[in-house]
Every structure is written in structure tokens, then in C-alpha cells.
Structure 1
Amino acid sequence: MLLAIDVGNTRIKAAVFEANTLFDAFIFVKEEFAEKIEIILQQHPKITTMVVASVGNLDPSAFSSFEKRTKIEFISHKTKFPFQNLYATPNTLGIDRMVLAAGAVLQFPKQNRLIIDAGTCITYDFVDADDRYLGGAISPGITLRYESLHHFTAKLPLLTKSYPENFIGNSTTESMHSGVVNGVISEIDSFIENYKTRYAKFIIILTGGDADFLAKRLKNTIFANSNFLLESLNQTFQYNQK
């Protein structure tokens, strides 16, 4: 069995796989890392490998106590990926974005693919039908927008995400919800429409912590899977084993 670990900017996600079957999934904060990994290994004693993708500030030494029990593989820019990277600055491309692109290529062969990861940041990544990674975009995620409104103003409160009751907010709270949530939805729909002007057909993959929150509000038909990065980690590892 394999334990896939995604170390994000705010949280850590993990999932246990047997081949391509996801058996169990976990979400926790970095402060709980050692404790949670220990619990997972006890619950799933057949785990032989950890595969890790990290964009967060978790020191790799945090894994050292588990090295005698499992093999640990860190995905890096030196890892083999199933696409040609045409990014102008390939060494600055986030490992999470590369893993998502790999998963899109492996799960949806011979198609144009747009991967939207709605997490701390919203990232857009496009891989064409010839398996060429072309690039994308990065913008603030939902929580980051709420936090920015609170931290960089004198009187606006810190809110948690919520669907606005009306497009026209009739209070400060509702105005903030409308601005943030409708702003993100409009942004994503606009990005998709821009891609449609260049590509007649492509699959849209929506993932990340806010994927389920956003999926039903978007105009375009999408494939929503909040575990897509973890699945892509598992597939990237298998691709390299072959």
C-alpha cells in the first residue's frame, strides 16, 4: 500500500492507496503531522511507501522518524513527468501544479486539459492534447480574499466562506460574501471562456479544498474531484516505477 501526502500552504492532506483504489483520506494541520502519520501507519500496517509533494514549510526532516518503517519518495523537479514542460521558468513551477498536470495526462489521455485547483491560491494549468504543459495563472483563493479584506482594512470583519443570499449585498457581511464568492465564480467562468476562444474542446478538472463549494455554482461543465492531487501523486509514483 502507498500513502500519498500533499503538504499545502495551510493544511496537509493524505490518502492511502492500493494500486489505484483510494481506501482512506485524511486532512490535518502541520502541527499534528507526526501524530497523524503515526496513527495512519498503525491503521494501515501494509503501507510500504510514502510519496510526498510539498509546497508548504514542512521540513523534510519531519519524515526522518518514519524512514525505517516505509520507503519515502519526495516528488521534485527531477522526477520524471508524463508531459513536456514548456513553462518559461520550469524550476519555479510548483510541484503541486506539476503533479496535477501529470494526473490530468495520465487520467485523460489525448485531450486538452484545464486543471483548476481552488485552495489557498487558485491555480490554472493547461496541458494540451500533445501532452505539452503550456502554463496557466495564479490568483488568491477564497479564504485568502476574506483574510485580505480583514487584515488590510480597519473595520471589515474576518468571515468564513458562505454563499451570499443575494447578488446585491444589503449589509457589510453580505456585501463581502457577494464580493468574494461571486468574484471567484466570475473569475473562474471568465478564465474558462477565454480558453474556449483558443481551444474548441477541453476537459475541465476542478480540485482543491473549495472544489465542492464552487462546483455547483459554475456555469461550465466540469469534472470536480477534491482528491485529484492525491490521486495524481499516486499515479505519478506509479508512472515512475514503470
Structure 2
Amino acid sequence: MTNVWIALVIGNSRLHWAEFSSDRLQKTWDTPHVNQDQVQLLHELWIASVVPSQNQFWQAYDRAHFLSLEQVPLQGMYPTLGIDRALAVWGAIQTVGDPVLVIDAGTALTLTGSNGDRLIGGAILPGLKLQFQSLNQGTAALPLFSLPLSASSLPHRWALTTETAIASGILHTVIAGLHSFIHDWRQIYPTSAVVFTGGDGNLLHHYFQDLYPNLASSVKVNPHLAFNGIRAIRKNNELFISN
């Protein structure tokens, strides 16, 4: 019988799902946050959550396994480290090896580095959408500008409209900041892999190709790092139980 199971990462804005058959990833999809009436599952479910208020909807599901930070075999983690960041790094180690720097471009934009099985540290700033939203919500005159998901090139740095000035300010600053972090990281770990993940990971990588093509060629994109981390922990758990 096929061993089908589901991984669920409860993010700040959405639910991120993955279906596995044994260790093979079959498909991924995203949905809005749910209420109790929407919870209908048939498979084993492995959950990592950064939104405690969503956890209650899955507590009664008898095939659910809630992952905690203590189950991620990284050394040097601090108590408030997000489980999503820890899983993405652990998934990156399984995928591309170490040392590794993971840049997760979700609701929050996070950088997390590890060497061997030890967390080195990282940084957190608002994600792209949050930065656009904050200008609209915190000012009287600036519009809400939505960045086209298909955008393939950066806006001109010296903009002549309010919308493109917002895009220029946010995007050029974010890209320059990420470039600085990557440069600093590789000064310490010259052979390190760098991986973009998260909903805006592909978009940021496209922008890097515009400004820093040589650097972009050595940076990977993998939207499934957290799921890879869950898979590795689940597999290790099965081996532990079987022994």
C-alpha cells in the first residue's frame, strides 16, 4: 500500500501543503487559513506552525503530528527561533549540504545560516508585500502598489511616478541589503550554498539576475525547503521507532 502523508506549514498569511508518497514529493499547494468546519483529511499529517491560533483546528485530528523546535537536529538554536526557519535550514542541509544560507522570502524576509549542524544566525525584516502595505497604511497619500508576480526586471532606480518610486525604493534597497548579507556570509564561508525559498523567492532571484548576474548564477531557488526538513525529521522518527 502506498504510504501517502501530508506536510503542512502554517505560515503567517497562508497554509502551505505538500503531499508525499513515502519519501517522494508529489505536489504542493497553498490555501488560506482555515476554520474548524474546513478540516477534512484522510492521511497522516505532519504540522509545523508559526501561528498558534491556527493550531486548535488540528488538535482533534488523531493522525496529526505537531513538530516542535526540539525535533529539529540543529545545534545552537534559541527558544524563539521560528520553526519554519529551522525546518528550511534543515531541509537545505539535506538538499544542498552545508554550510548554507537560506533566504526565505515570505510574509517576513528572513536570512538564516548554518555550518555543519550548527545554527550560525541570521536576520529578519518585513517581506516585500508587507513593505508595500506599510507605506499605504502608514501614510495619507501613498497608494497600495502590488508588485506584478511576473515582473522580470527591476524598476528604474530614479523613478518619475509615485508607484515606481515606491517599487524602486523597496526593491533596490532589499536587493542591495541581501547582496551585502550574501557577500559577508561568503567572506566567512566561501564555499557556502545560498538558497532562496518562500513565495517571493523566484522573484528576488530574477532581480538578482538583473543586478548581479555572476552572483545569481551561484544562488539556487528551492520553494520546498521546509517540506524537505519535515520529510527528513519524519524519516528519522520512523527509523528511531523501528529500532
Please classify the TM superposition score into its range, dividing by the shorter chain length.
0.7 to 0.9
2:46 counterpart residue number: 51
Instruction: State the match for 1:134 in structure 2.
Output: 120
Unpaired stretches in structure 1, ≥5 consecutive residues: none
Letter in 2 for 1:50: L
User: What's the counterpart of residue 226 of structure 2?
Assistant: 229
Aligned counterpart for 2:73 among listed residues 75, 79, 82 = 82
* Identical-pair percentage: 28
Structure 1 CA distance, aligned partners of 2:125 and 2:141? 24
Find 2:96's aligned residue among 108, 113, 117: 108
Structure 2: distance between partners of 1:206 and 1:187: 14
**Shift in Å, 1:33:** 7.2
Cα offset for 1:8?
0.5
SS in 1 for 2:188: coil
Matched, 1:96 2:84: yes
Other-structure match for 2:169:
179
SS of equivalent to 2:25: strand
Q: How many residues align?
A: 225
User: Any runs of at least 4 consecutive aligned residues in structure 1 with deviations exceeding 4 A, and if so which?
Assistant: none
**Structure 2 CA distance, aligned partners of 1:143 and 1:78?**
31
RMSD: 1.8
Alpha-carbon distance, 1:82 to partner: 3.0
Relative to the length of structure 2, the TM-score reads 0.85
Residue in 2 aligned with 1:170? Answer: 160
Residue of structure 1 equivalent to 2:141:
155
Cα offset, 1:24, TM superposition = 2.0
Aligned-pair CA distance for 1:148: 1.0
Q: 1:57 to 1:158 in 2, by over 3 A?
A: farther
| Contact in 1 for aligned 2:35/2:57 (Cα 8 Å) | no
For 2:94 and 2:140, the matched residues in 1 are separated by: 48
Deviation by residue 1:185-220 (Cα, 9 ceiling, x = unmatched): 222111101112222210011100101111122132
